[in-house]
Amino acid sequence: DADVTQTPRNRITKTGKRIMLECSQTKGHDRMYWYRQDPGLGLRLIYYSFDVKDINKGEISDGYSVSRQAQAKFSLSLESAIPNQTALYFCATSDLRTGGDTGELFFGEGSRLTVL
Amino acid sequence: AQSVAQPEDQVNVAEGNPLTVKCTYSVSGNPYLFWYVQYPNRGLQFLLKYITGDNLVKGSYGFEAEFNKSQTSFHLKKPSALVSDSALYFCAVRDPPGTGNNRKLIWGLGTSLAVNP
């Protein structure tokens, strides 16, 4: 089983719908991240969380919200999806204890979202 | 401002030949540098990192990278390319602890490597 699991892997939805992407990890890491990948734009950070009670905005947080329900779970919500949120979304984790402060990330397999 | 540049969108190399994927950065001080690989329809995987010490860093799958402070570069290399190395490669940089905005990685836009049989 994957250490970082994202659900759903693929989702097609319509403009205005609320969408939740979920991420769970079995690595025991304290830090979790949501990224968005678009062709030609690389990876952009949406939100990150260094602890259950710690939520931080990334580069492109507008239109998104997150919830860190437990150390192992970090969900990303699109309250009212729009077509330019069509992208590949990645959850990632890192751990201060084992990775030191060097920032090595462990990624999920991605969630492909299409907003029509 | 911090930035990372991968000057080549695509690199093509014949199997068995050496490969180089370029990365340059603009970060003050002594940054942490990373390479990640993304195979088709997969998430990113960590390849290697430079924190301090020897400028030549060895990583997974036979890859290595050389940190060059004077040229602010961190090029990824492999002596003999395999078809299975075909993937998207990302360079990333981070400020060291205690400096600037070290909580986040700054990513390059990626370089697509195609290894031809």
Please state, for a pLDDT cut of 90, what percent of chain B lies above it: 73
| Residues in chain A with pLDDT values less than 70 | 1-2, 97-103
Task: Report CB contact under 8 Å: A110, B43.
Answer: yes
Task: Report CB contact under 8 Å: A58, B104.
Answer: yes
**Predicted confidence band at B52 (pLDDT cuts at 50, 70, 90)?**
confident
pLDDT computed for residue B80 by the predictor: 97
CA distance B89 to B44: 9
With contact defined as beta carbons under 8 Å apart, do A92 and A5 qualify?
no
More confident residue, B13 or A2: B13
What is the interface size between A and B, counted as CB pairs within 8 Å? Answer: 50
State the SS3 of chain B.
Answer: CCEEECCCCEEEEECCCCEEECCEEECCCCCEEEEEEECCCCCEEEEEEECCCCCEEECHHHCEEEEECCCCEEEEEECCCCHHHCEEEEEEEECCCCCCCCCCCEECCCEEEEEEC
- Nearest residue of chain A to residue B98 (CA atoms): A101
No. of helices (H) and no. of strands (E), chain A: 0, 11
**Predicted confidence band at B2 (pLDDT cuts at 50, 70, 90)?**
confident
* Average pLDDT score, chain A: 92
Task: Report CB contact under 8 Å: B103, A48.
Answer: yes
* Average pLDDT score, chain B: 91
pLDDT computed for residue A67 by the predictor: 97
Q: Nearest CA of chain B to the CA of A37: how many Å?
A: 10
Q: Is A101 on the interface with B (CB under 8 A)?
A: yes
pLDDT computed for residue B101 by the predictor: 61
Which residues of chain A lie closer than 8 angstroms to B104, CB-CB? 45, 48, 58
pLDDT computed for residue A95 by the predictor: 83
3-class DSSP state of A65: strand
Which residues of chain A lie closer than 8 angstroms to B90, CB-CB? 42-43
Q: What is the pLDDT of residues A71-103, one digit of tens each?
A: 999 999 999 999 999 999 999 999 876 555 566
A65, β-bridge pairs: A77
3-class DSSP state of A62: coil
Task: Report CB contact under 8 Å: A56, B110.
Answer: no
